[in-house]
Amino acid sequence: MNRSSTSLGLVIAVVAAATFGLSGALAKPLLESGWSPAAAVTARVLIGGIVLSPLAVLSLHGKWALLWRARWRVLAMALIGVAATQLLYFGAIERIPVGTAVLIEYMAPLLLVGWAWARSRRSPKAVVLIGSVVALAGLVLVVSPGGSASFDVLGLLLALGAMVGCAIYYLVAAHPSDGLPAVALAGFGLLLGGLLLGVVGLSGLVPFRTSTADVAMFGAEVPWWLPLLIIGVVATAVAYSTSIAASEMLGSRLASFVGLLEVVAATFYAWLLLGEQLTVPQLLGGLLILIGIGFVRSEKTDAVIEPASVPLVEPLGSEELPGRPG
């Protein structure tokens, strides 16, 4: 991987994190108006898939064999990267504090470091280990986990499942494309994942509620579909396609560390759009995440052993829902 390609990949990854992070601040008014997390994320994913569908089809240039060859990758993105990770997270936040669930899910980069270590039987370089510790410390400061909820084993297991799903999302996204454009993987993965989420929601396995009431946004009352449309187009269609493109360029490990900026972005948008307090520890946490990314990025390219690649949501944001992957 040359330096210019890596630099471009980092820029695209930052764009992905910034757009993913926007979803939390825009989704909160929907949730407060009566939408359930499952219904909101299902609508979000389906809108994103529908928006990307024409671009996905055009990007194939009639070469549908590319999609067929990548069918297992698309299926893994839909089943695990989009649907399963979201559902596991929903189950977790019903039992443990949101901050704790987010913290566990976003430990996915550490899982990828461990996976690469186990698979290659080569210990990570010191800069990767230092970067991992620094980034994790920053994540703790930004998320500030806690709450009065009692210890719940099932809730913790569900959150761990979401962490695994988030890690697999990056593995799927970073897998060699074999000619399949990133927008095609994102578009068809979102469509299929949205349909699966809808089936699960309508089956009653998770709360599935919608509302047509106006919501408070930008200091005024706006129709319910406006924030949902912005989430679907910007925080889903743009976010997933750029995240996949960046993962292909950077590899799953570095892309997952840059993805931690999604939590920082979500906190910033909550301050900017919702007036939520932005604390000094959170600002320090964001700085530590950047420093951690810098350490991981500084590892020599020829020393990096990428895990064999196999959505963390997603999440709709750290306030209620995961960005991805999470």
Q: Which amino acid is at 61?
A: H
Report the distance separating Cα 25 and Cα 35, nearest Å: 14
Q: With cut-offs at 50, 70 and 90, classify the pLDDT of residue 45.
A: very high
Distance between CA atoms of 273 and 288, rounded to whole angstroms?
Answer: 24
Give 91 or 247, the one with higher predicted confidence.
247
Candidates 270, 271, 274; CA nearest to 218 is: 274
Query: Does residue 73 fall inside a structural domain?
Result: yes
| pLDDT band with cut points at 50, 70 and 90 for residue 199 | very high
Residue 38: what are its φ and ψ, rounded to 5°? -65, -40
Three-class DSSP category at 251: coil
CB 292 within 8 A of CB 107: no
The verdict on residue 116 lying in a domain is: yes
What digits encode the pLDDT tens for the residues 16-26? Answer: 999 998 888 88
Per the structure, the count of domains in the chain is 1
| Per-residue pLDDT band at 12 (split at 50, 70, 90) | very high
Instruction: Give residue 1's pLDDT band: very low, low, confident or very high (50, 70, 90).
Output: low
Which H or E element spans position 69? helix 64-69
Q: Is 319 inside a domain boundary?
A: no
Q: Compute CA distances 173 → 26, 179, 183, 189, 236, whole Å.
A: 25, 13, 11, 11, 15
Mean pLDDT computed over 200-228: 88
**In the prediction, which pLDDT does 323 show?**
54
Average pLDDT, the chain: 86
Closest listed residue to residue 177, CA positions, set 297, 303, 305, 309: 309
87-91, 143-147, 252-256, 277-281: range with highest mean pLDDT: 252-256
For residue 290, the tally of other CB atoms under 10 A from its CB is: 16
Structural domain contains residue 99? yes
Q: How confident is the model at residue 151 (pLDDT cuts 50, 70, 90)?
A: low
33 lies in some domain: yes
- pLDDT score recorded for residue 312: 37
Q: Does residue 157 sit in helix, strand or coil?
A: helix
Residue-level pLDDT at 224 = 93
pLDDT in tens, 49-65: 999 999 999 999 999 99
Tell me if 248 is assigned to some domain: yes
Asked if residue 326 is part of any domain, the answer here is no
Please tell me the total number of residues recorded for the chain in this structure: 326
Residue 138 has pLDDT above 60, yes or no: yes
Q: How confident is the model at residue 302 (pLDDT cuts 50, 70, 90)?
A: very low
Are 147 and 100 in contact by the 8 Å Cβ rule? The answer is yes
- 4-39 burial, b at 16+ Cβ within 10 Å, e below that, comes to eebeebbebbbbbbbbbbbbbbbbbbbbebebbbbb
- Percent of the chain past pLDDT 90, that is, above it, reads 52
- Which residue range forms the structural domain that includes residue 199? 3-310
Residue 38 has pLDDT above 50, yes or no: yes
* 41 has pLDDT over 70: yes
Domain assignment present for residue 320? The answer is no
Instruction: Give the pair of three-digit tokens for residue 23.
Output: 């979803």
Q: Is the pLDDT at 241 greater than 60, yes or no?
A: yes
